[in-house]
Every structure is written in structure tokens, then in C-alpha cells.
Amino acid sequence: MRKPVRPVLVVIAHGSRDPRHAATVHALVRRVRSLRPGVRVETGFLDFNIPSVHGVLESLAAEGVRDVVALPLLLTRAFHAKADIPAVLRDAPARLRIRQAEVLGPSPLLLSALERRLHEAGLTPADKPSTGVVLASAGSSDPEAIAVIAEIAREWRHTGWCAVRPAFASASLPRTEDAVRELRELGCARVAVAPYVLAPGFLPDRIARGAAEADVLAEVLGPAPEVARVLLERYDAARTPALAAVGA
């Protein structure tokens, strides 16, 4: 019996006028391919960059591809995951069977990636009890997304940091600089800012400016190996029902 063809993984990124954004997305996708060479991985952008999501799906359909897992390159379930991406997928060629995977967060692997970035910025495990961390996200007007960020901060605090506070670059409060000051007033000997964002751009730059009074500013998550592993976890979870349906 012929083994079923694995669905093509289409990574859907937001896109940005900042060229660092697309470069970081492509670096992450290359890491995903290296971890799972048997899976075809394509990248499409919602805005600003090419190829567009629609263009990628049209090309796949023209090649004769049938099964696709569309994976939002997003950390929370906010407007893009709930509205924009489903709308784009509804306009896809009818011959494609598309499953939309879950967004990347929350995940313990993402917490590991955050700690990786902080260690790369100079912190050590011995610094944790005296260091307060600002978990700085892009921000959202979606209450569900905001609640998720707050819960991640609470969970991360229990791993040994002096304190962890969420902050937002847009739409919500507090801002990064306010959270930095709060941790100073709380008595943390050191304050670090951990951007909970995937790629550079306008809002991550705002986070960096807000971290001016912090002692440590970590890099964005980018192509961290833990992020690539989360992508593959979401892909596997989305394709499982399709495999079960054909008895694989």
C-alpha cells in the first residue's frame, strides 16, 4: 500500500516593510526544513512581502498538490488568526484540502526559547533569583491574546525569576518602559527585557526603545531551534486527523 503523501506546510507570516522581518522568517523556515527534510515547507505573507499566501496556494494547486497545512506564524490567537487568515484560506483554490494549524503559543518550548535569548544576552541561571524580566509582546486589542500573555508571565515567574511582568508595544498597557520601572521599584537587582516576538520590525523596535533603562535586552525569538520545533508540533497536530482518515 502506498504511503500517504505528507501535506505541504505553508507558513503564513504577517509581512513587514522592514526587510529584517522577511529575512528572519526565511531563516526560521530553513531551520524547520533542516529538522524535517521529508516535509515540503513554503512561506506566504499576508502583506508587504512576496510571495503572498494566495499566490503560494495558487501555485500549489497548479502543481497538483491536494493537502496543505496552513500554519499561522503567530504567538497568540488574535485578529489575524481568527479573521484574516481564515478569510485568505476560504479564497484558496477549491482543489486544495487545507487545515489551519494552531498558533505557536503558548508552549513550554517558547519559554525555553526566551531563556535561550536571555542567556545569549549575558544572563546565567545564577542570575535568575535577582533578575526581573519584562515579557514584552507586540500587543493586541483581543482580550484572549492579552490574557494569554499575562498567564505566560505568571507561569514563567515560577521558574525562579525575581519577578516577571508583561508589557505591550501597542494596543494594551503597560508599555515596556513602565514595566522596567516597576521591576526596579520592586527591588530587582537587575532588569531584563525579553521580546516575545518572532521577527524584527516596527513594534520590536519600539520594545527596544522601551528597554533603554533595562540592564539586558534579548534578541527576538527568530529562528531559535525551539521555535522551529513548535512549528513542527503544530504541523503534526493539524495533519493527524487527515492521516487517521486514510488509515495511516
- Return the pLDDT at 32: 98
Q: Residue 217 has what pLDDT?
A: 98
Can you give the pLDDT of all 248 residues of the chain as single tens digits?
456 689 999 999 999 999 999 999 999 999 999 999 999 999 999 999 999 999 999 999 999 999 999 999 999 998 888 989 999 999 999 999 999 999 999 999 999 999 999 999 999 999 999 999 999 999 999 999 999 999 999 999 999 999 999 999 999 999 999 999 999 999 999 999 999 999 999 999 999 999 999 999 999 999 999 999 999 999 999 998 644 333 33
Strand partners, 70: 10, 100
Q: What SS3 state is found at 53?
A: helix
Residue 219 grid coordinates: 534578541
Burial 78-93 (b: 16+ CB within 10 A, else e): bebbeebbeebbeebe
Question: What is the side-by-side strand order in the sheet with 131-137?
Answer: 163-168, 131-137, 190-195, 216-217
The reported pTM is 0.94
177 and 212 Cβ atoms separated by less than 8 Å: yes
Alpha helical stretches, state H, the chain: 19-35, 53-63, 79, 85-90, 108-120, 143-157, 176-186, 202-210, 225-245
| Dist CA 84 CA 35 (whole Å) | 29
pLDDT of residue 78: 84
> Three-class SS of residue 137?
strand
